[in-house]
Amino acid sequence: MTIQENISLKAYNTFGIDANARFFVEITQVEDLQKLINEPIYKEQEKFILGGGSNVLLTQDFDGLVVKINIPGIEVIEENEDTVWVKAGAGENWHQFVLHCIALEYGGIENLSLIPGTVGAAPMQNIGAYGVEIQDIFESLEAVHLITGALKHFTHEECQFGYRESIFKNTLKGKYIITHVTFKLSKQAQINSSYGAIEETLKILRTKDGYQTRPAIQEVSDAVIHIRQSKLPDPKEIGNAGSFFKNPVVEAGKFEDLQQQYPQMPGYNLPDGTVKVPAGWLIEQCGWKGKRVGNTGVHSKQALVLVNHGNAQGKEVWDLAMQIKASVWEKFGVEISPEVNII
């Protein structure tokens, strides 16, 4: 464990923003993290915990200590005829972890293919896609308290999951570092292909020679990957953090009023009677899709994605985001909020 000074974070965030960290350290095991907590430099400095850097916008240099979590490892800790519990280190690449589970025919996780980031960040954000969220397959996690260094076990209930939310983004924000996550997966998977264009994509992919021999969860994963690649830009080619905004949730009455004005407005009814509205549709209706503003802009295929066209400063991206937010409010009276963490 070596604490470095004046390190560029450009390679550590998918937006490709060139911001510097005054101090930087990589953690590969829990014991090193607990040791770090007792170091004077840790106690004296402001801290920023960094995972895969795929859900963060750096708007300025960080005058403190960046702790990069790279704890590895994947193991089966329990299984029976129908279910398997898989524990993974927080530093594992999320998509590679998904592919690992699919290769072993552990189901329930396939709809979350190709989401960027790390295993440790997944429950914090309660990541979700195509009808599945982390909370649907989550069993428990372990996290280190950032003052005492104590390792605590969190159950599903204790994580207080919500839409792109968890207790680690609210009450316990900045108080714990997640080190390991355990998932409850199925050996007798029931595939979920009803969301979005999965069924349509499956029909296309199944026409390929030999495709019929693949496991069903592999088919769904391939379909999700195909859809995501067709809509979302590769951060290696153009800087971005995926979906920048959360889909807003509005009261049913509000949605009905909006649909009278905008009959084409899509919405998804939620169990509590509210309606989730696609933020991408709202942004596109405001004319932002494909628009470039200086070094930044909105992706031409997906209005939810803000991009760095090259050499953009984080503040430029944030200013654009605020312009988009204001225009959606002015047109629809709906508030959209960033899904990305702003530093």
Predicted pLDDT of residue 76: 96
Give the C-alpha separation, 3 to 15, whole Å.
Answer: 24
Helix boundaries (H) for the chain? 30-37, 40-44, 94-103, 121-125, 198-205, 216-231, 252-261, 279-285, 314-332
Which residue, among 341, 323, 314, 240, has the nearest Cα to 59 in the 3D structure? 314
Options 54, 92, 113, 164, the catalytic residue: 164
**pLDDT score of 213:** 53
Which is the catalytic residue, given 92, 142, 316, 339?
339
pLDDT in tens, 154-198: 999 999 998 888 999 889 988 999 999 999 999 987 877 777 688
Contacts of 143 (CB under 8 A, 6+ apart): 151, 152, 154, 168, 176, 177, 178, 179
Let me know how many helices (H) and strands (E) the chain has, helices first.
9, 20
Backbone angles phi and psi of 252, in degrees to 5: -60, -40
Please compute, for residue 210, the number of CA atoms within 13 A of its CA located in the half-sphere on the CB side.
0
Q: CA-CA distance, 232 to 243, in Å (whole number)? A: 9
d(CA 88, CA 150): 19
| CATH architecture of the domain with range 239-342 | Alpha-Beta Complex (3.90)
- State yes or no: is 214 an active-site residue: no
- Fold category of 74-186 in CATH: 3.30.465
The pLDDT tens digits along the chain (343 residues) read 789 999 999 999 999 999 999 999 999 999 999 999 999 999 888 888 888 888 889 999 999 999 999 999 999 999 999 999 999 999 999 999 999 999 999 999 999 999 888 999 899 989 988 888 999 999 999 999 998 999 999 999 999 998 888 999 889 988 999 999 999 999 987 877 777 688 777 777 766 655 555 568 888 898 889 888 888 888 888 899 888 999 999 999 999 999 999 999 999 888 889 999 999 999 999 999 999 999 999 998 889 999 999 889 999 999 999 999 999 999 999 999 998 888 8
The structure tokens listed for 126 are 């309660």
Query: For position 212, what pLDDT does the model report?
Result: 56
Entry pTM: 0.79
Domains of the chain, residue spans: 4-69, 74-186, 239-342
User: From start to end of 235-315, where are the E strands?
Assistant: 239-243, 249-250, 268-269, 275-276, 292-293, 296-298, 305-308
Spatial contact of 240 and 308, defined as CB atoms under 8 Å apart: yes
d(CA 180, CA 140): 9
- Verify whether residue 243 is a known catalytic residue: yes
Report helix angle 94-103 to 216-231, nearest 10.
150
Q: What is the pLDDT of residue 310?
A: 85
The contacts of residue 34 (CB under 8 Å, 6+ apart) are: 144, 149, 151
The active-site residue, picked from 54, 110, 243, 316, is: 243
What's CA 125's distance to the chain center, in Å?
6
**Is residue 339 flagged as an active site residue?**
yes
CATH architecture of 4-69: 2-Layer Sandwich (3.30)
